[in-house]
Amino acid sequence: MAEISSILGLMITLLVFSWAVSICNSLEDSVFDDNNGSFFTVSSFRYPKSEVRPYDTRYIRVDLPPWFSSLNVAMESDVDITAKSISKISKSLLPVICFRDGSPPLPDASTNALEGLELGRLFNGSFEGAEDIEIAEQCYPMQKNISLRLTNEQISPGAWYVGLFNGIGVTRTQGKMIVRSSAFSFSANISVEGCKTATMWGPSCNQTIYPLSCSRFDNQTGSVVSCSDSYPSSCLTGVETKTYALDVDGIAEQLVIMASNVKVDSNESYLMCYARFGAIATETLHDYAGDIHKAPLVINKPKVGRWYIVASLSGRENRLVQDTKSSSKVCFSMNVKVLGCPVGKAGPNCGQQIYMLQAVMRRGSLTPFESYYLPVDDAPPSGSSTDFPLEPIFSNVSAIPELDTSTWTYFLMNIPQGGAGGHIHFRLTSDSTIQYEVYLRFGGLPTLDDRDYYYANQTSASRSMFFSLYNSSQEKVDFYILYAREGTWSLGLRKLSDTTATTASKGPPTLVSLSLERCPKRCSSHGNCRYAFDASGLTSYSFCSCDRTHGGFDCGIEIVSHQGYIVQSIALIASNAAALLPAYWALRQREYAEWVLFTSSGISSALYHACDVGIWCVLNYNVLQFMDFWLSFMAVIGTFVYLSTADEAVKRTIHTVVAILTALLALTKATRASNIIIVLAIGSLGLLIGFLVEFVTKYRSYCGSAGFSLNMLDRPRAVKEWFSNLIKTLKKRFRWVFVTAGLVAFTMAAISFKVETSSSYWIWHSIWHFTIYTSSFFFLCSKIKIVNNENQTLNGADNYELTRQDSLPRH
C-alpha cells in the first residue's frame, strides 16, 4: 500500500506540473498573439537587385500614413567597405547611402555641405535619442548589410526618402569621356507597419490616444476651434501620462493648450505639457513644453497637421523628487483652442494680408511640374507674365507699432504630390535698394524665430545645404530651395520700416517671381536638365548633366579652365598624328590594306575626340565612337596579322573574322577595360593561326620528302633539327631590335590605359595614342620581307625558284 500511495503521489505531482506548464505556455502564446494583433503591415515592397553605375543616383520613396507604427528597411549590397578603408577612398568614388524626411537627399548640393559631410563611421542600424534622430537625415558609407528600424516616436508621417550615390562631389554631374570606377548592386526590403486601433499608437501600438471633442465658431474677427477632453476630469498619479491628438486643419495663428479644474493634493505638484508635431511627444523629444498648471502653453503659427499633446505630473528634474515621496495626484480637464483669422488675413490682430498663389504651368515644358506662381486674382489667362509687383499688395498693409516696426505679407503655394524633386525659385528685383526680408516655412506661417529658410541681407541668410543663393545684391534677391518637399509652403515678406521706403514706392516697382523649376539656373548654361523617377515611380526628380569642364549640382563650378580645356583638346586630337608612322611604313612597303587601316584609324580617332570635347561633330557622336573603337581594335589586330607569314587567302579570312568580332566589341560596351585584353587575345590568336598554317604546310612537304624517315630512332633527331631550324627562321624573319622597341612602347601603352581616370583621362589617353601607334610602327618595321631569289636561305625559297624555272618556256 505504501508503494501504491507513493506512485499515486508521483503521478499527481506530474499532472500538476504539466498543467502548470500548459498554463504558462498558453499565457505566453496569448501575449504573443496580442502583441502581433495590435499592428498590421500597411505596405511591403521588395526592390530586386539593381545596379548603381559610377556617379549615378537611386532614390527610394516610402509613404508613411498617419497611423503607422514603424518603418523597417533591410538592404543588401555587394559593397565591401570596412571602417579602416573609408579614409582611403575618395568621396568621388565612395558608395554612400543617405536618408531624408520629406524630399530626396542631396549630400553634395554645395561645396560647404560636401566639406562638412562626415563619412568616417559606418551605419550602426538603430537610432535612439534626440541626437541620433538628427543623424537619421545624414549620410553613411554604403555597407554590405544595412538594417534600419524607425518608429513613430522618431519620424513623422509623410514621405521618407532613401538615396543611394555611387560617388559624391562636384564631379558627380560632370560629363566624362570615360569612366573606370566600378558599379555596385543592391536589393532592398521595405515594410511599413501600422496600428489597427485608431486610439492606440506608439512603436508597439500600446499607447492610448485620447480624443478631443471640438467645436468651431466663426465671426468677422476670425475663427476659434475649441476642444476639450471627452472625460470631464482626468487624474494622473506618479509617473502616469496621458496623450491627446489634435488635427490643425488650416493656417492658424495660435494653438493654446490649457488645463482647467485642476485639483492637486500637494503644493509641489506640476502638470507638465509636451507638444510635438507629427509624433508622440516625450520629455526628451518634443517641440514645445510648459507647466500648464501655472500658465497656458501658447504655440504661435502652428503647422498644419496632427499635433500630439502629452500631460504628465512633472518634468524630469522633479520626477526623482516625487519618486522618493508618496505619489501625488492631480486631476484636471484638458482644453485646447486653435485661433485663426478670417480668409485673407493673418498676423497679430489679423491685420496682415495673406494671398493664395495659383500655379500656372509653363508652356512647352518637357519636364513635369514646371510652373510659376501668381496671386489668384492676378493670374492672366494667357500666362504671359511670370512675376507680379509688391507695391499694390503692401499699400493695403499697415504696421502694428506695439508689436513690430515692420509689416508682413504672406503668400501660400502648394507643391503637388510627386513634385518633391523640383526646386522653389524665388527672385525679388528692384531698381532701388530692396527693403524686404524673406522667410519661408513648410506647413505654417513663418516668423522671425520659427522659419525653415530666410534671407535678410547679403550677410544674413540660411546656411542650409538646401538653400542656394545666387548673385544677390542690394537691388536683387535670388535663391533656390532645393528639392522642396510636397505640400503647402508659406512665404513671408517682411517690409522694413524706413523713410526711404515711402519715396521708393513712387519709383520703379519691386517685382516678385516665384516658380517651381526642375534644374537650378537651367544648369548654368553648361549642361542639360534631365529627370528620372525614384524606384517606386511615385516621385520625379531632376538633375543636371554637365559638360566636360563644369560640375556641381547646377553645373556652376568650373572644374577645367578654358586654357586647360584648349590644352586637353589639342592633346587628345593631335596625339592621333602618331598614326602617320605605321601608315607611312605600310605605304612604303606597298601594304595598302594596312595603310588604309592605320590612316582611317587615326582620322576617326581625331574626329571622335573633337566631338567628345565639344569642338565639332562631323557625324553623330555614337557613329564616331563606334568608328574610333572599331578601327582601333582592327589596327591592333591588323599588326599581329601582318607579322604572320600566311598567304593572302589566309590573311583575308582572318581579317574578315576579326572585322566581325571587333565590330561586336565596339557596339557592346566599347569603353570597358576588358576589351583591350580581348583584342590582344584575338590578335595573338590570329598570329598563331598564321604560323600554324605555315607550319602545317611545310610539315606536309617535309613528311612527303624522300629524306623523311619513319624510324623511331631518327624521330628525336628530326624534332631537334626542326626546332633548331625554327629558331633560325625566327631570327632571320624579324629585326629583334625593333621587336624590343615595339614591346617597350606597347608596355607603356598598356600602363597608360590602366592608370586612366576620369580626371587624368586626357593626358594618359594622349600618351596611349602616341605609344600604341608607335608600337605598331616598330612591329611593322621588325618584319623582314621575304625576297625569293637564288641567294635566299629561308625555307621555301628553293622550291619557289624551281617552280619559277619550270614555268619558263622550253626550247
What are the pLDDT digits (tens) for 756-796?
888 888 899 999 999 999 998 998 888 877 654 434 444 44
Tell me the average pLDDT across 448-458: 91
Distance of CA 616 to the CA centre of its chain: 32
Q: Express as a percent the part of the chain with pLDDT over 70.
A: 77
Answer yes or no: is pLDDT of 35 > 70: no
- Alpha carbon distances (Å) from 263 to 243, 294, 463, 473: 19, 13, 48, 59
Answer yes or no: is pLDDT of 316 > 60: no
Give the Cα separation of 672 and 214 in Å (integer). Answer: 67
Cell readout for 261 is: 479644474
pLDDT tier at 8, thresholds 50, 70, 90: very low
pLDDT of residue 811: 44
How many Cβ atoms sit within 10 Å of the Cβ of residue 578? 22
Give the Cα separation of 373 and 463 in Å (integer). Answer: 25
pLDDT tier at 6, thresholds 50, 70, 90: very low
Answer yes or no: is pLDDT of 179 > 90: no
Answer yes or no: is pLDDT of 29 > 50: no
Give the Cα separation of 145 and 430 in Å (integer). Answer: 54
Angle between helices 761-782 and 562-574 (to 10 degrees): 20
Window from 384-388, 549-553, 740-744, 783-787 with minimum mean pLDDT: 783-787
pLDDT of residue 806: 45
How many Cβ atoms sit within 10 Å of the Cβ of residue 364? 5
Give 475-487 pLDDT, tens digit per residue: 899 999 999 999 9
Tell me the average pLDDT across 462-475: 88
pLDDT tier at 337, thresholds 50, 70, 90: very high
pLDDT of residue 676: 75
Give the Cα separation of 757 and 174 in Å (integer). Answer: 13
pLDDT of residue 612: 87
pLDDT tier at 527, thresholds 50, 70, 90: very high
What's the angle, vertex CA 292, arms to CA 223 and CA 218, rounded to 5?
Answer: 5
Helix, strand or coil, per DSSP, at residue 194:
strand
Window from 119-128, 145-154, 678-687 with minimum mean pLDDT: 119-128
pTM strictly above 0.85:
no
Answer yes or no: is pLDDT of 279 > 50: yes
Window from 11-15, 39-43, 435-439, 491-495 with minimum mean pLDDT: 11-15
According to the per-residue pLDDT averaged within each range, which of 46-50, 398-402, 789-793 is highest? Answer: 46-50
Picking from 107, 105, 101, the residue whose alpha carbon sits closest to that of residue 127 is 101
Tell me the average pLDDT across 385-403: 69
pLDDT of residue 123: 61
- Alpha carbon distances (Å) from 244 to 68, 199, 212, 230, 295: 17, 10, 7, 11, 19
Instruction: Map out the domains of the chain as residue ranges.
Output: 39-200, 222-315+329-341, 355-378+404-497+509-551, 562-699+730-782
560, 176 contact by CB (below 8 A): no
Cα dihedral: 114, 116, 122, 124 (round 10): -120
- Which contiguous run of DSSP H or E holds residue 478? strand 476-481
Window from 68-77, 424-433, 689-698 with minimum mean pLDDT: 689-698
Window from 368-372, 425-429, 506-510, 767-771 with minimum mean pLDDT: 506-510
pLDDT of residue 711: 52
Mean pLDDT value across the chain: 80
pLDDT of residue 321: 45
- Residue 48 phi/psi, 5-degree rounding, is -65, 170
594, 655 contact by CB (below 8 A): no
pLDDT tier at 267, thresholds 50, 70, 90: low
pLDDT tier at 362, thresholds 50, 70, 90: confident
pLDDT of residue 688: 78
487, 443 contact by CB (below 8 A): yes
Answer yes or no: is pLDDT of 41 > 50: yes
Answer yes or no: is pLDDT of 5 > 70: no
Distance of CA 353 to the CA centre of its chain: 40
What's the angle, vertex CA 711, arms to CA 706 and CA 717, rounded to 5?
Answer: 85
pLDDT of residue 273: 93
Tell me the average pLDDT across 142-169: 88
Helix, strand or coil, per DSSP, at residue 81:
coil
Strand spans (E) along 376-471: 387-389, 407-415, 423-429, 436-442, 453-457, 460-461, 467-469
Answer yes or no: is pLDDT of 500 > 60: no
Answer yes or no: is pLDDT of 493 > 90: yes
Burial of 502 (0-12, 13-18, 19+ CB in 10 A): exposed
Give the Cα separation of 534 and 158 in Å (integer). Answer: 16
Helix, strand or coil, per DSSP, at residue 418:
coil
CATH of domain 39-200: 2.60.120.680
Beta carbons within 8 Å of 480's beta carbon, 6+ residues apart = 423, 424, 425, 426, 467, 468, 470, 517, 520
pLDDT of residue 108: 86
Distance of CA 521 to the CA centre of its chain: 20
Do 39-200 and 222-315+329-341 come out as alike in CATH topology? Answer: yes
Answer yes or no: is pLDDT of 507 > 80: no
Give 584-624 pLDDT, tens digit per residue: 998 988 888 889 999 999 999 999 999 988 888 888 888 98
pLDDT of residue 225: 93
Picking from 777, 702, 786, 718, the residue whose alpha carbon sits closest to that of residue 744 is 777
Pick the residue with more confidence: 282 or 404? 282
Please spell the DSSP secondary structure of 248-291, one letter per residue: E-S--SEEEEEEEEEEES-TT---EEEEEESS---SSS-SEEEE
Q: Could you tell me the fold of the domain covering 222-315+329-341?
A: Jelly Rolls (2.60.120)
587, 564 contact by CB (below 8 A): no
Picking from 338, 349, 396, 397, the residue whose alpha carbon sits closest to that of residue 220 is 349
Answer yes or no: is pLDDT of 807 > 80: no
pLDDT of residue 804: 40
Give the Cα separation of 209 and 202 in Å (integer). Answer: 9
Answer yes or no: is pLDDT of 135 > 60: no
